[in-house]
Amino acid sequence: MPLSLAARTRLVAATHNPGKARELAELLRNRFEVVSAGELNLPEPEEPETTFVGNAVMKARAAADACGLIAIADDSGLCVAGLEGAPGVHSARWAGPQRDFDHAMALVEQRLEEVESVERSAWFACALAVAWPHGPVVAVEGRVDGTLTFPPRGDRGFGYDPIFIPLGGDQTFGEMDPQAKHAISHRARAFAALEAALF
């Protein structure tokens, strides 16, 4: 039987990142009953894999098996062309364990200057995985391409949003209305792939 997810199923959103949890809840809203990993006091797992899909699968698997609910996990990051795809899967802790994204964004600019790159292309990548407790797992990916701008602009969104302008736009993700980000973001594109696969 093909895998599918019935409406109103109770899901755990396997993330400890409040910005991501908010966006996932907005994408899942009205369709499922969502509880967060934090509300269930689930431990924050290690992310040892070298790919977004590998880490998303691992996080969804860990949460589903721990709490017995179907779990959805997101592994995502900013990939900078002039830095050979860094920070990539290491985006959350790239600038240090304290997750200071003002510092992380300044470090991206500094590293580009150090390698004397005039290249400002970048993309956000997102892998979403849905895992059934002790059962199968489905994973999909989405991506949005854009250009980096410095200094950072806007206080909406989270993480690296204030330095990223999606292709064809003139506002950063940090300046855009959340609904406008959801129309084109890496997370929304991964979610559309998930809808096609499961819903």
Query: Which residue numbers are catalytic?
Result: 75
Q: Which helix (H) or strand (E) holds 22?
A: helix 18-28
Stretch that binds ligand ITT, among 4-12, 25-33, 69-77, 131-139 (CB under 6 A): 69-77
Contact between 175 and ligand ITT by CB under 6 A: the answer reads no
Binding mask 143-162 toward ligand ITT (x if CB under 6 A, else -) reads: --------------xxxxx-
Contact between 172 and ligand ITT by CB under 6 A: the answer reads no
- Sign of dihedral through CA atoms 12, 14, 15, 16? positive
**Residue 81 phi/psi, 5° resolution?**
-60, -45
The one-letter amino acid code at 95 reads A
β pairing state of 33-36 and 10-13: parallel
Shortest reach from residue 170's CB to ligand ITT, in Å = 18
Number of residues that bind ligand ITT (CB under 6 A): 24
* Helix axes 18-28 and 186-198, enclosed angle (nearest 10): 40
Contact between 49 and ligand ITT by CB under 6 A: the answer reads no
Give 17 or 64: the residue with its C-beta nearer to ligand ITT: 17
Give the footprint of ligand ITT on residues 84-103 (CB under 6 A): 91-92, 101
101, 155 Cβ separation under 8 angstroms = no
CA angle 80, 51, 184 (to 5 degrees): 55
Chain residues that interact with ligand ITT, rule: CB under 6 A: 15-17, 20, 44, 47, 59, 74-78, 91-92, 101, 124, 157-161, 173, 185, 187
